[in-house]
Amino acid sequence: MVTLSLNFGSLALELFFLLSGIFIFMIDRFIKSKSYAFWLSFWVILGSMVFILFIPFGDFTRAFRIDFFSSSIKFLLLIGFFFVLLLSDTHLNNFPGLNFGEFYGLLFFSLFGIFVVLSSQDFLTLFIGLELMSIPLYFLIATQYVYRKESLEGALKYFIAGALSGGLYILFLGIVYYATGTIYFEEVSKRLAQGLLKKELLLGAVFFISALSIKLSLVPFHMWAPDAYEASPLPITAFLSGLIKFAVMAVLIKVLILAYSPLKIEIGKILIPISLLTILIGSLLAIRQDNLVRLLAYSSIAHVGYAVLGLVSGDFAGYGFSLFYMFVYLFTTIGSFGIMIYLVRANRGFLEIPNLAGICQNLPFISLLLLIFLFSLAGVPPTAGFMAKFYIFLMLVKSQYIGVAILALLVSVIGAYPYIRVIKVIYMDKGHLGYYKPTYPIFLAFSLIVATFIVILLGIYPRPMLDFIQRTLFLYISLQFLQL
């Protein structure tokens, strides 16, 4: 007889989120003032940031494991999520048509999905987690249709892309299960270590990478990104491009370490053309964009491309640099979308780049912050964007991919152009649009200042953060090898 010990302690945080989400859905009908939902989420997230430090490592069945790696990544994600909440509050106050408690409830469900993804120990849980992560987002994107009818199209595109991702993933799952008879990461890794079925599992990995590239919007699965980004409410866009991509990158790294470590060199070779094309296409298409959100969508495509370049060598230090890159990108995203939320408060038309002409005259502070974030995206020192790119290139040259590094460097020059074009419009063109100058809500100001601080601090002194990420990874990897 099979006996199961159910260790709910390790599942506590996830249950907490799930219950908060359901609670919001249950009581939302009865409460008129919607700020309760924000404050509830605010305290829940602050509480979980403390709480996560005390959650013991352990398993909940074989499928779910709390360990050092997942807890660290979860902690970083909680910080990011906290800022998304702050941005949401500002944005929803500005757009009362969206202001429902369910907005936060759905965000909680998505966070629940992310946490399941990060803790999963087998491919099936990973799959369900990915779906849990994405499905609330389909709804959240579609909410925007109260202000913008075309949003439904973007939501549908994201939904179809997600369905395609699910289909590819199931194909992968089928191949892995058919070939090895197991879905657990360690078992797959054991089979690979015995030298069995390399070809078949590599084929599976191709499908796996395709499925995840839809979430990461890598070429050739990048088409949904600009439409979905443009369609979503701004905090959700920040969530999509910052948190989701960070989480998916972390789990890709986890799978490469746990399940596919014997094949990581081959997978790296598959990733080279993908990431180079992604950077190239993201940078080129960003040039022609006139909408700030679409521009950032293409830039997000390109940036994930750079982050993936850290994975190509199969070197664990490179994995750390990729995570660092995504962390920097997370905060750049929060900052730049926070600025957009502010701009939209001033004038609904400010998401179109030509309308931004000359706003530095009346909005000097916000223009300066946008300048910092745009230079960080372009990768100019002394911002964090430079440090992140620098480490990726360092890794590439170190693992003898000098040609790849040179190509990526050249493309990064093209990639700088769209950002300096926006700066040009803001600082150097003559303005014509009338607007009033809104105040800075305390939460927005707080998140903007923190994001700026982090972006500059990591540009000048990235050491502690890098140490933290590298140590997390190395500890994790060494533990895995001890178990094997």
Partner 1 sequence: MDLLVFLYLALGMCIPGLLAVLSKNPVHAVLWVLVLIIHQAFLLYTLGSEFLAAVQIIVYAGAVLVLFLFVVYMINLRMEERWRVFVKRSSLGLLILLFFAFFFFKSLAFLTALSPHFKANLHYDLSQGTNLWWIARYLFTHYLFQFELIGVLLLVVVLGAVFLLRKLKEVEGDSL
Partner 2 sequence: MADFGLLSAILWFPLLGIAAIIITNRSRPDTIKVIALITALIDFILSILLLYRFDFTNANFQFVEKIPWLDVINSFYFLGVDGISVLFVPLSTLVTLLCILISWYSIEEKVKEFYLALLFTNIAMVGVFLSLDLLLFYVFWEALLIPMYLIIGIWGGPRRIYSTIKFFLYTFFGSIFMLAAIIYLFLQFGTFDYTLLIGKTFTPQVEKLLFLGFLLAFAVKVPMWPFHTWLPDAHTEAPTAGSVILAGILIKLGGYGMVRFLLPLFPQATLFFAKLILVLSVIAIIYAGLACLWQDDLKRLIAYSSVSHMGFVTLGIFSLNPIGINGAILQMINHGIVTGALFMCVGVIYDRTHSRAINYYGGLATTFPLYAALFMIFTLASIGLPGTNGFVGEFLILQGAFMKDKAMVIFAATGVIIGAAYMLWLYQRVFFEKPVSGVFNLPPLRWNELLSLIPMVLLIFLIGLYPNPFLDFMKTSVSKILANIP
Q: Residue 105 touches which of partner 1, partner 2, none (CB < 5 to 8 A by kind)?
A: partner 1
Question: What minimum distance in Å lies between the beta carbon of 70 and partner 2?
Answer: 23
Question: What minimum distance in Å lies between the beta carbon of 202 and partner 1?
Answer: 12
Residue 424 within binding range of partner 2, rule CB under 8 A: yes
Binding-site string for partner 2 from residue 317 to residue 356, where x marks contact by CB under 8 A and - marks none? ----------------------------------------
Residue 124 within binding range of partner 2, rule CB under 8 A: no
β partners of residue 291: 352
β partners of residue 65: 59
Angle at 79 between CA 352 and CA 365, to 5 degrees: 40
Residue 360 within binding range of partner 2, rule CB under 8 A: yes
DSSP conformation class of 150: T
**171, 277, 423, 477: residue in contact with partner 2 (rule CB under 8 A):** 423
DSSP conformation class of 55: P
Question: What minimum distance in Å lies between the beta carbon of 191 and partner 1?
Answer: 9
Binding segment toward partner 2, per CB under 8 A, in 178-186, 197-205, 230-238, 393-401: 393-401
**51, 145, 390, 440: residue in contact with partner 2 (rule CB under 8 A):** 390
Give how far the C-alpha of residue 56 lies from the chain's centroid of Cα atoms, to the nearest Å.
Answer: 26
CA distance 362 to 321: 39
Question: What minimum distance in Å lies between the beta carbon of 476 and partner 1?
Answer: 22
Question: What minimum distance in Å lies between the beta carbon of 97 and partner 1?
Answer: 4
Which residues contribute to the site for partner 1 (CB under 8 A)?
A: 2, 4, 18, 22, 25, 60-64, 95-97, 100, 102, 105-106, 109, 112, 116, 124-125, 128-129, 131-132, 135-136, 138-139, 142-149, 178-182, 197, 200, 203, 344, 348, 351
Question: What minimum distance in Å lies between the beta carbon of 205 and partner 2?
Answer: 29
CA distance 260 to 79: 29
Q: Residue 410 touches which of partner 2, partner 1, none (CB < 5 to 8 A by kind)?
A: partner 2
Residue 457 within binding range of partner 2, rule CB under 8 A: no
Binders of partner 2 among residues 260 to 279 (CB under 8 A) are none
CB half-sphere exposure, 233, CA atoms < 13 A: 31
Residue 402 within binding range of partner 2, rule CB under 8 A: yes
Write down how long the chain is. 484
Binding segment toward partner 2, per CB under 8 A, in 227-235, 331-339, 417-425, 442-450: 417-425
Residue 262 near residue 185, CB atoms below 8 Å: no
Q: Which residues of 424-445 are buried (b: 16+ CB within 10 A; e: fewer)?
A: ebbbeeebeeebeebeebebbb
In DSSP notation, 422-460 reads HHHHHHHSPP----------HHHHHHHHHHHHHHHHHHH
Peptide bond into 382 cis (omega under 30): yes
Tokens coding 77: 């994600």
> Residue 159 or 393: which CB sits closer to partner 1?
159
> Residue 105 or 318: which CB sits closer to partner 1?
105
From the CA atom positions of the chain, what is the Rg in Å?
A: 22
Nearest CA-CA partner of 483 in 59, 54, 12 = 59
**51, 427, 435, 474: residue in contact with partner 2 (rule CB under 8 A):** 427
Q: Residue 397 touches which of partner 1, partner 2, none (CB < 5 to 8 A by kind)?
A: partner 2
| Helical spans, DSSP H, in 310-383 | 316-346, 364-378
Question: What minimum distance in Å lies between the beta carbon of 373 and partner 1?
Answer: 21
SS3 59: strand
CA distance 116 to 109: 11
CA distance 271 to 392: 14
Binding site residues, partner 2, CB under 8 A? 360-361, 364, 368, 371, 375, 380-382, 386, 390-391, 393-394, 397-398, 402, 405-406, 409-410, 412-413, 416-417, 420-421, 423-424, 427-429, 461-463, 466-467, 470
